[in-house]
């Protein structure tokens, strides 16, 4: 069974612990492998690991979740990002769409909503990795075929 890696970024330890607990208890196939308490710490940790999913609070000290997602899009465009917010402001949602976030969830966090979200994210990741594997296999077959053609000499 494939286990997808999740990074949680939030400046509120209680929110981090709640999300981590819900993901690990309710979302099969997902594991929280990294936690950061602000966007700068998250960017530093991303130099060493690249999780499949990043969940970040939208309002944090040092660097907002929107700024973090913007920077992630520049360096890791394939990473799935989810914004968590206690605010239902249209401007945040508009920016989230601009940065191609996978979803935008509101606080307070509802475990059943997180489970549904992770089912959706799991399907998306499975499809993405299936597509990437097919491209890799196709590329390998083409390379092998081209190498074999180079060895054939016609006299």
Model pLDDT, residue 150? 53
Q: What is the DSSP letter of 152?
A: -
| Average confidence (pLDDT) over 120-129 | 92
Please confirm whether the linkage preceding 108 is cis (ω < 30° from 0).
yes
Model confidence at 94, in pLDDT bands (50, 70, 90)? confident
Model pLDDT, residue 146? 55
| Average confidence (pLDDT) over 112-136 | 88
Indicate the burial class of 5 (C-beta count within 10 angstroms; 0-12, 13-18, 19 or more): middle
Q: Nearest 5 degrees, angle CA 131-CA 136-CA 139?
A: 125
* H-helix segments, 62-110: 65-75, 90-98
**What pLDDT digit, counting tens, does each position of 27-41 carry?**
999 999 999 999 999
pLDDT over 90 percentage in the chain: 62
| Average confidence (pLDDT) over 33-52 | 96
Query: Is the pLDDT reported for residue 18 higher than 90?
Result: yes
Residues in the chain: 155
Q: Please choose, from the candidates 38, 111, 27, the residue with its C-alpha nearest in 3D space to the C-alpha of residue 68.
A: 38
Q: Compute the distance between CA of residue 103 and CA of residue 120 in angstroms, rounded to an integer.
A: 10
pTM: 0.84
């Amino acid at each position: 069974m494939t286990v997808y890696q999740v990074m949680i970024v939030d400046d509120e330890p209680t929110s981090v612990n709640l999300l981590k607990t819900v993901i690990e208890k309710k979302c099969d196939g997902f594991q929280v492998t990294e936690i950061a308490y602000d966007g700068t710490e998250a960017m530093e940790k991303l130099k060493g690991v690249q999780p499949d999913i990043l969940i970040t609070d939208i309002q944090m000290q040092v660097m907002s979740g929107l700024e973090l997602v913007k920077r992630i899009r520049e360096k890791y465009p394939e990473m799935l990002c989810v914004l968590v917010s206690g605010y239902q402001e249209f401007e945040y949602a508009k920016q989230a769409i601009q940065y191609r976030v996978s979803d935008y969830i509101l606080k307070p966090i509802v475990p059943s909503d997180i489970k549904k979200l992770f089912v959706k994210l799991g399907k998306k990741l499975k499809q993405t990795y299936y597509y990437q594997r097919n491209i890799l296999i196709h590329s390998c077959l083409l390379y092998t075929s081209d190498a074999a053609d180079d060895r054939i000499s016609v006299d």
